[in-house]
Structure 1
Amino acid sequence: MLSIEKSIQAKAYALGYEKCGIVPIHKLDGYEEKLKERIEKVPESERFYQGQKRLLNLNNTYPWAKSAVVLALSYNKYKVPEQVKGHIAKSYLFDVRIDKNSVEYNNRQKFEQYLGKLGIKAENNKKFGIVGMRWAALQAGLGVVRRNNFFYTESGSWNHIEAWLIDKDIELLEEKSLAPCPAGCSKCIGSCPTKSLSEAYTMSPTKCISYLTTFGGRELYQEPLAGKFGDCIYGCDICQDVCPMNAKEWKGREEFPGLSEIIPNLSPENIMSMRQEYYTAKIQPKFFYLTDKELWKWQVNTLNYMDNQYKDEYRKYILKACESEYTQVRNMALIIIKNRLLAV
């Protein structure tokens, strides 16, 4: 008969998880020191990391919690649609945290139900994590953090990490067989367009394209880094794509459920003509980092892309954006017209 730890791990494997480790909650305490190190290296990041402080002193918030079950789930099996390749980061395209279309979402529910059947009290945060996720995955033996700050398993960095706090004092560390980063390799650092990634294991989050095209960049028309975004509209994969430890790890064999329905509407041109009703019903529920009132942010990001990768056919979309109901979109369009179209 399997121990409770092995039973949990076996269930995770049966549901398609690549890795499953269990770590006592006190072994997560080092996250506070790592957070301080981050802020000391990049002082301007302190405000950004304020939200992470909710993940400190876990027993104050969850006095019943004794351990954390941490799982890694690879998403490299999915095909990246050509229409959005380079425009939308893969982790957002294949985000299964609240996407009920996906098998992974339903398996997550089954795993949580299984914990309940074992008589375990468990709690997690589906969207944003209940612990410092990469730190917890590291302590549970699921993989390593590489120089680009991403967490890697044997499937590369293309993974989602999930975690539950539980009321059982148990431990089961995963086994990993991962080579270190190649000696002297700095491809990820050299590839970062905004120099958010300035040295190994260090970054300035508020300079990151993923931040500036999702949570941040609320006044992108005034952002000096906006001209360095290249093809990016929502998120960025550049430092992961160039990583030698990710080479050949993207399989891309399967269609992600429900994605084909919305992909045609995520071309730059169709984003600019998207209606609020469609955005609220179809786009925002999947890309939940922006609210149902922030279609304008998608359109501002897209205008920035059109400016960075300017073609004559984009001119009509930029001019039309001057009539947008959204102030932010009008501001972005007017700046482009002033700097590019009027200068011609």
Structure 2
Amino acid sequence: MMSKKSDSDNSIAKLIQQKALDLGYEKCGIIPVEMMAGYEEKFHERTQKVPESQPFYQNQQRLIRFQEDFDWAKSIVVLVKRYSKYHIPESLRGHIAKHYLTDSRINENTKEFQSSTALEQYMKELGLRTETNRKFGIVGVRWAALQAGLGMIRRNNFFYTESGSYISLEAFLTDCEMELIEKPNLPPCPPNCNRCMKACSTASLSDAYTMNPLRCISFLTTFGGRDLPNEPLASDFGDWIYGCDMCQDACPMNHNKWTGQNEFPGLSELEPYLTMENILEMDEDFYRQNIQPKFFYLSPDELWKWQVNVLNFMDNRYEDHFAPAIIKAQKSNYEQVRKMAGLISTKHGLHT
């Protein structure tokens, strides 16, 4: 049974919320750790609906068992930050997912990262013990945000606030019993709407609130898809080389939610290097110093994966001006790139 919270604990909760809003967060809610109890059932429900996804979710078991590592935790501070305010360069749109282009989780130059560390420091100054994992999360954050009343999960599995789904969620564990829960006032998904499912070219979204992560373009262009020449879904990636926005962009609840006025730190300087041809020409040192730290789902040794993804795009959207780059890629230092380029050259009748 949850113990009664004191007025002083509730006062601390309000101080944290106000500080978060002052730092630029869109929303802040706080839930007792007991409110995560239903997350395990939902977690296993996913693998029951799509049994082949079990290996994918295996590594995320830690999100269910977080109290085993942090038995001192009593509440969870849940935060929403909006990335739809940032401008996406035209040359990158539809090729690299917007969330990855504006990812602030470990980018110390961004206001969002600085706000996160400032809030953490503030909570410590209030006498709280805190813990977080900025890269990969420390709890099932969508479930936590749902329990905090910060928004809702829609049929495409993304979490929505009034700003749509172009938001990021963040969570801190604390050792203070607190509770600060909102009542969301969002309209439900339109009756019988299936635009997100129709937009998903690989049928990863097979039903409302259901997905097969092993068929997701975002997975297959980052963590997975390491044998694209033999990947039957590769031809369905379309223009995407890292991540995918199709189910979010198709959602009517995201209509006019992207404002895109602010410049994301460093993105305009990086843009010229992220063209298809320049990725194929990129050297390892530049990749390791400038690309991998930002797009950290691929390791410092996986420039070849970017290049194979680009070749797959060139195959899917083949035009004659791609031919020189594809032919040159047959002499790559990477076996995977040579193999992909050779298959595409044969398919399109290209000769060295």
1:192 touches 1:238 (CA, 8 Å); kept in 2? yes
2:12 matched to 1:12?
no
Among 90, 93, 98, the residue aligned to 2:98: 90
2:298 matched to 1:281?
no
The aligned residue for residue 222 of structure 1 is: 230
The aligned residue for residue 240 of structure 1 is: 248
- SS of the equivalent of 2:59 reads helix
The aligned residue for residue 143 of structure 2 is: 135
Structure 2: unaligned runs, 5 residues or longer: 1-7
Q: What letter matches 2:37 in structure 1? A: D
Deviation at 1:342, TM superposition (A): 5.7
1:154 touches 1:176 (CA, 8 Å); kept in 2? no
Among 74, 83, 91, the residue aligned to 1:66: 74
2:284 matched to 1:272?
no
2:199 matched to 1:191?
yes
2:327 touches 2:350 (CA, 8 Å); kept in 1? no
Q: What letter matches 1:106 in structure 2? A: Q
Among 181, 193, 202, the residue aligned to 2:189: 181
The aligned residue for residue 126 of structure 2 is: 118
The aligned residue for residue 51 of structure 1 is: 59
Among 140, 163, 169, the residue aligned to 1:155: 163
Q: What letter matches 1:286 in structure 2? A: K
2:141 touches 2:170 (CA, 8 Å); kept in 1? yes
What's the TM-score once normalised by structure 2's chain length?
A: 0.96
Q: Please give the root-mean-square deviation of Cα atoms over the aligned residues, in Å.
A: 1.2
2:323 touches 2:350 (CA, 8 Å); kept in 1? no
2:329 matched to 1:329?
no
2:328 matched to 1:320?
yes
Instruction: Give the distance between the partners of 2:65 and 2:88, measured in 1 at CA.
Output: 39
Q: What letter matches 2:157 in structure 1? A: N
- SS of the equivalent of 1:46 reads helix
Deviation at 1:57, TM superposition (A): 2.8
Instruction: Give the distance between the partners of 2:111 and 2:21, measured in 1 at CA.
Output: 14
Q: What CA deviation, in whole Å up to 9, does each residue of 1:240-298 have, x standing for no partner?
A: 00100000000011111111111110010111101111111111111111111110000
What's the TM-score once normalised by structure 1's chain length?
A: 0.98
Quick one: structure 1 residues 203 and 145, their matched pair in 2 at CA, closer, same or farther if it must change by over 3 Å? same
Identify which range, 205-214 or 173-182, moves more after superposition: 173-182
The aligned residue for residue 50 of structure 2 is: 42
1:233 touches 1:302 (CA, 8 Å); kept in 2? yes
Deviation at 1:166, TM superposition (A): 0.5
Instruction: Give the distance between the partners of 1:268 and 1:326, measured in 2 at CA.
Output: 17
Instruction: Give the distance between the partners of 2:67 and 2:50, measured in 1 at CA.
Output: 28
Q: What CA deviation, in whole Å up to 9, does each residue of 1:130-186 have, x standing for no partner?
A: 001111111111110000000001100000100001101111012322100001100
Instruction: Give the distance between the partners of 2:325 and 2:106, measured in 1 at CA.
Output: 33
| Identity rate, percent | 57
Q: Number of residues paired by the alignment?
A: 343
- The ranges of structure 1 where at least 4 consecutive aligned residues each deviate by more than 4 angstroms after the TM superposition are none
Structure 1: unaligned runs, 5 residues or longer: none
2:305 matched to 1:297?
yes
2:33 touches 2:73 (CA, 8 Å); kept in 1? yes
- SS of the equivalent of 1:47 reads helix
2:175 matched to 1:167?
yes
Q: What CA deviation, in whole Å up to 9, does each residue of 1:24-55 have, x standing for no partner?
A: 10110211100111001000000000011011
2:33 touches 2:75 (CA, 8 Å); kept in 1? yes
Identify which range, 134-143 or 238-247, moves more after superposition: 134-143
Q: What letter matches 2:245 in structure 1? A: D
